[in-house]
Amino acid sequence: MKEYKVTVDGRVFNVVVEEVAASDLPQPPGCAVREVSAEKRTEPQPSPGTDQLLNVEAPMPGAIIDVAVKSGDAVKEGDVLVILEAMKMENEITAPRAGTVSTVHVQAGDTVEGGEALVALS
């Protein structure tokens, strides 16, 4: 626990703050807290030599500012695919792995929801 002095509108308050784990916080009905270690935070990777498609999805709702690729383009891991504006910030959506752009699902000016497919890679 840590003790702090806080001033609000000229009045001074002493407050004590206790750090708690995310799992100790109350959750709305239907929600669950789970911790994922850094090792487990990887994009699903198809086996080498397969033609599995990987949909690159919007991480949050926003507006498509630019599409940097077209169908048939070869991309390397980390190449910019789409620029998504969200919360007044431009976010570069990059290729999670090397591949070929199979389908571009969006165009500049589109509005997307979080989880919506932007580009399919093979």
The predicted pLDDT at position 84 comes to 93
The predicted pLDDT at position 15 comes to 85
Tell me if residue 40 falls in helix, strand or coil: helix
Tens digit of each residue's pLDDT (9 = 90 or more) over 55-84: 999 999 999 999 999 999 999 999 999 999
The predicted pLDDT at position 29 comes to 61
pLDDT < 50: residue spans in the chain: 40-42, 46-47, 49-50
The predicted pLDDT at position 50 comes to 46
* Cβ–Cβ under 8 Å, residues 81 and 68: yes
CATH no., domain 43-121:
2.40.50.100
Phi/psi of residue 39, nearest 5 degrees = -65, -30
